[in-house]
């Protein structure tokens, strides 16, 4: 069997498994065809992951499959979109059945979990690189942008932040403790906040997913909206595992490290009250949007040893 037939055989089952009604024609023709329901808009984005840059060399293939799709779908969550279908461009040094099957297993599990169907793809030979283009849809005019934050809005973050960044130094740990295992799980298996993103339609003024770090990503909202933010470091949600492993040192991972794929959200206080019944448990208020630019953080002494912390985009 040729390598292209091998790849076709391994990936084809992923095309139909999500049950997405939007995918009219999957892999096998010159193009795929996606149905766009009346009154909805297409939301799409592409992510490229390079071995040794965006994931470690010799990273586990099954984990890579999950993680690469999760990272791409997280951008749909940040727009408040329903996932529909995706394409995959895979550059491989060699087509090894064992690696391909493990990668497809992780990718397929993620696709099923997020309700997104493989629509097609391309394979070439070269250094291990993945590009995934995700397609989603939103009711017309309801996509969540970065540019709508207003002074007086609350700044919120979902779940907890810092676990994935703190996990980086434990990636090769042969026998992780239960707390380290929790951190590693956050890095290996990010879970895009799709339900929260949809619940935020019509309520949030701006949304972004936390891929580069809370301060950096909030900074993108503030730049796009022409405003600043006042945060309280004591309010930043951190997991018990992160606190036990790193104490107050976990704060740096929580605000500077990336890879958590939580949502950072701004919204007027009345939106917060509307959401309280449904998603309050997932969202923590960490500050407010103010006139100005950049981030001022109270109780951020652990970050730089002074009385506060100012961030104007220079941290990374």
Q: Write out the binding residues.
A: 30, 45, 47, 54, 75, 121-122, 146, 209, 211-212, 259, 309
d(CA 169, CA 39): 47
Rounded least distance, CB 206 to Mg ion, Å: 13
**DSSP code string of 240-290:** HHHHHHHGGGHHHHHHH------EEEEE-HHHHHHHHHHHGGGEEEEEEEE
- Residue 277, judged by CB atoms within 10 A of its CB (0-12, 13-18, 19+), counts as exposed
Interface residue with Mg ion among 75, 153, 179, 262 (CB under 5 A) is 75
Tell me whether residue 70 or residue 283 sits nearer to Mg ion (CB atom).
Answer: 70
**Span interacting with Mg ion, options 60-68, 69-77, 180-188, 268-276, rule CB under 5 A:** 69-77
Rounded least distance, CB 165 to Mg ion, Å: 16
d(CA 149, CA 222): 7
**Residues in binding site for Mg(2+):** 30, 45, 47, 75, 122, 209, 212
Rounded least distance, CB 133 to Mg ion, Å: 14
Tell me whether residue 26 or residue 136 sits nearer to Mg ion (CB atom).
Answer: 136
d(CA 146, CA 240): 30
Considering only residues 92 to 131 of the shown chain, the ones binding Mg ion according to CB under 5 A are: none
3-state SS of 89-149 is: EEEECCCCHHHHHHHHHHHHHHHHHHCCEEEEEEEEECCCEEEEEEEEEEECCCCCCCCCC
Tell me whether residue 211 or residue 241 sits nearer to Mg ion (CB atom).
Answer: 211
209 — phi, psi (to 5°)? -90, 150
**Residues in binding site for ATP:** 121-122, 146, 211
The single-letter DSSP state of residue 222 is: H
Task: Report the residue count for the chain.
Answer: 316
Using CB under 5 A as the binding rule, whether residue 260 contacts Mg ion is answered as: no
Beta bridge partners of 89: 122, 131
Considering only residues 156 to 215 of the shown chain, the ones binding Mg ion according to CB under 5 A are: 209
Using CB under 5 A as the binding rule, whether residue 259 contacts Mg ion is answered as: no
Tell me whether residue 92 or residue 144 sits nearer to Mg ion (CB atom).
Answer: 144
Tell me whether residue 75 or residue 259 sits nearer to Mg ion (CB atom).
Answer: 75
Residues at the site binding Mg ion, with contacts judged by CB under 5 A: 75, 209
């Amino acid at each position: 069997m040729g390598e292209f037939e091998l790849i076709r055989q391994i990936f084809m089952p992923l095309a139909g498994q999500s049950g997405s009604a939007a995918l009219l024609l999957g892999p096998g023709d010159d193009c795929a065809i996606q149905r766009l329901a009346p009154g909805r808009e297409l939301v799409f984005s592409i992510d490229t992951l390079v071995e040794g840059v965006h994931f470690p060399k010799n990273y586990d293939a099954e984990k890579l499959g999950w993680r690469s799709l999760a990272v791409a779908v997280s951008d749909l969550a940040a727009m408040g979109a329903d996932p529909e279908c995706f394409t995959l461009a895979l550059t491989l040094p060699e087509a090894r059945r064992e690696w391909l099957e493990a990668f497809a297993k992780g990718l397929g599990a993620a696709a099923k979990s997020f309700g997104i169907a493989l629509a097609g793809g391309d394979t070439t030979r070269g250094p291990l690189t993945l590009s995934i283009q995700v397609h989603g849809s939103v009711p017309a005019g309801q996509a969540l942008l970065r540019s709508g934050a207003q002074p007086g809005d609350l700044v919120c973050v979902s779940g907890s932040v810092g676990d994935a960044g703190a996990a980086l130094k434990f990636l090769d740990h042969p026998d992780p403790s239960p707390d380290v295992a929790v951190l590693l799980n956050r890095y290996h298996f990010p879970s895009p906040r799709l339900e929260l993103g949809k619940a935020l339609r019509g309520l949030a003024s701006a949304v972004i997913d936390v891929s580069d770090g809370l301060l950096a990503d909030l900074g993108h909202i503030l730049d796009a909206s022409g405003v600043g933010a006042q945060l309280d470091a004591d309010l930043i949600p951190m997991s018990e595992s992160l606190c036990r492993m790193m104490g107050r040192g976990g704060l740096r991972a929580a605000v500077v490290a990336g890879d958590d794929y939580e949502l950072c959200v701004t919204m007027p206080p009345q939106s917060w009250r509307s959401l309280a019944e449904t998603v309050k448990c997932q969202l923590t208020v960490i500050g407010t949007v103010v006139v100005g630019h950049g981030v001022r953080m109270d109780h951020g002494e652990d970050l730089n040893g002074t009385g506060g912390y100012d961030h104007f985009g220079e941290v990374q």
